[in-house]
């Protein structure tokens, strides 16, 4: 079963953070519906730190402190439940928030790796040598596995050394791809398709059906990644953008019966049932 999942994209503006938020909240709801007392953790590893405000939260601490060894997970993790303040009820969804301070932490961590001389000749982390950054993230993920049923990681463009460490520690990756020419080509160039065993799902986003280019890009994704890897497309909809602006809501809270919500729920169910 995919327990720790990274949501990442090569290009910006493809709905990465929305996808991470929707998956984390959706999985938490599935557990709640099943009567489980288990919880879901959303980790924001994007220095823009958008997960917290999109959930209506204003954190004081940053996941960067944890990565640098300056704090323990329980000191940084916050509840996303806002029912006591009149907001949405999310009893089993937690967040490791990011702030702008994460960028400084990332810079320091990568400088430490370079100083240790643990970079391979092609400028990538050598996993066989267990560099400090990779080992630290693996320890963190191993610890979180004991506490949370699912962990969803919101990660920016996977084109840096920090991503190498994250990649080694997660079980699978969900890649949102905007249904336009450049986004599709970028995803196909970066991901090897079915040969990449950590590629759990490709999620077409901002889809406008019945347009020739859209249908062509969807067909191209299916050919490259395999139909079983391409999830139900998320249509372009103003409701997706309105949700966080409406008091920090997810799509399941703001427009639960909408087509985007049903598309995200389809992916949630596939992950929850172990079908990816």
Is beta strand 93-96 parallel, antiparallel or unpaired with respect to 78-79?
A: antiparallel
- Mean pLDDT over 214-225 rounds to 92
Q: What pLDDT is attached to residue 144?
A: 96
- Of the ranges 109-118, 163-172, 261-270, which is most confident? 261-270
pLDDT band at 120 (very low <50, low <70, confident <90, very high): very low
Which has the minimum average pLDDT: 64-68, 120-124, 141-145, 219-223? 120-124
Quick: pLDDT tens for 64-110: 999 999 999 999 999 999 999 999 999 999 999 999 899 999 888 87
- Mean pLDDT over 182-206 rounds to 89
- Residues sharing a CB contact under 8 Å with residue 109, sequence separation 6 or more, in sequence order: 67, 68, 133, 162
Element (H, E) at 22: helix 16-33
pTM of the model: 0.92
- Mean pLDDT over 248-254 rounds to 98
Q: What pLDDT is attached to residue 121?
A: 44
- Mean pLDDT over 121-138 rounds to 61
Determine the Cα–Cα distance for residues 95 and 72; give it in Å rounded to an integer: 14
Q: Which domains does the chain have, with CATH numbers?
A: 4-272 (3.40.50.300)
pLDDT band at 131 (very low <50, low <70, confident <90, very high): low
More confident residue, 151 or 169: 151
Q: What pLDDT is attached to residue 129?
A: 44
Q: What pLDDT is attached to residue 262?
A: 98
pLDDT at 62 over 80: yes
- Mean pLDDT over 141-169 rounds to 90
Per DSSP, the chain holds a count of helices (H) and strands (E) of 12, 7
Supply the DSSP string of 126-183, one letter for each residue. -GGG--HHHHHHHHHHHHHHTT-SEEEEE---S-SHHHHHHHHH-SEEEEEEESSHHH
pLDDT at 39 over 60: yes
pLDDT at 140 over 50: yes
* Residue (of 267, 266, 260, 248) closest to 97 by Cα position: 248
- Mean pLDDT over 157-183 rounds to 88
Tokens in use for 163? 């991503």
Tell me how far CA of residue 201 lies from CA of 79, 233, 239, 266, in angstroms. Answer: 28, 11, 23, 12
- Of the ranges 31-35, 99-103, 122-126, 197-201, which is most confident? 31-35
- Residues sharing a CB contact under 8 Å with residue 217, sequence separation 6 or more, in sequence order: 179, 180, 181, 184, 204
The proportion of the chain whose per-residue pLDDT surpasses 70, expressed as a percent, equals 92
In the block, tokens 């087509």 appear at 259
């Amino acid at each position: 079963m995919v327990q720790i999942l990274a949501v990442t994209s090569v290009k910006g503006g493809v709905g990465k953070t929305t996808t991470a938020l929707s998956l984390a909240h959706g999985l938490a709801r599935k557990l709640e519906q099943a009567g489980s007392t288990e919880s879901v953790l959303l980790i924001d590893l994007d220095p823009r730190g958008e997960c917290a405000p999109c959930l209506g939260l204003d954190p004081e601490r940053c996941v960067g402190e944890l990565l640098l060894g300056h704090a323990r997970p329980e000191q940084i993790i916050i509840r996303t439940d806002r029912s006591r303040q009149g907001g949405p009820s999310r009893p089993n969804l937690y967040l490791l928030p990011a702030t702008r301070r994460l960028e400084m932490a990332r810079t320091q961590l990568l400088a430490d790796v370079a100083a240790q001389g643990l970079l391979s000749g092609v400028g990538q982390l050598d996993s066989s040598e267990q560099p400090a950054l990779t080992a630290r993230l693996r320890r963190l993920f191993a610890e979180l596995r004991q506490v949370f049923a699912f962990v969803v990681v919101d990660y920016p463009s996977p084109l840096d050394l920090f991503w190498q460490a994250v990649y080694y520690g997660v079980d699978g990756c969900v890649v949102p791809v905007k249904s336009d020419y450049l986004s599709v080509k970028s995803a196909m160039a970066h991901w090897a398709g079915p040969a990449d065993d950590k590629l759990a799902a490709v999620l077409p986003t901002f889809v406008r059906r019945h347009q020739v280019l859209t249908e062509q890009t969807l067909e191209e994704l299916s050919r490259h990644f395999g139909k079983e890897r391409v999830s139900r497309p998320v249509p372009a909809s103003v409701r997706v953008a309105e949700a966080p602006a409406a008091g920090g809501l997810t799509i399941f809270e703001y427009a639960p019966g909408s087509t985007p919500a049903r598309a995200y729920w389809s992916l949630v169910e596939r992950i929850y049932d172990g079908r990816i």
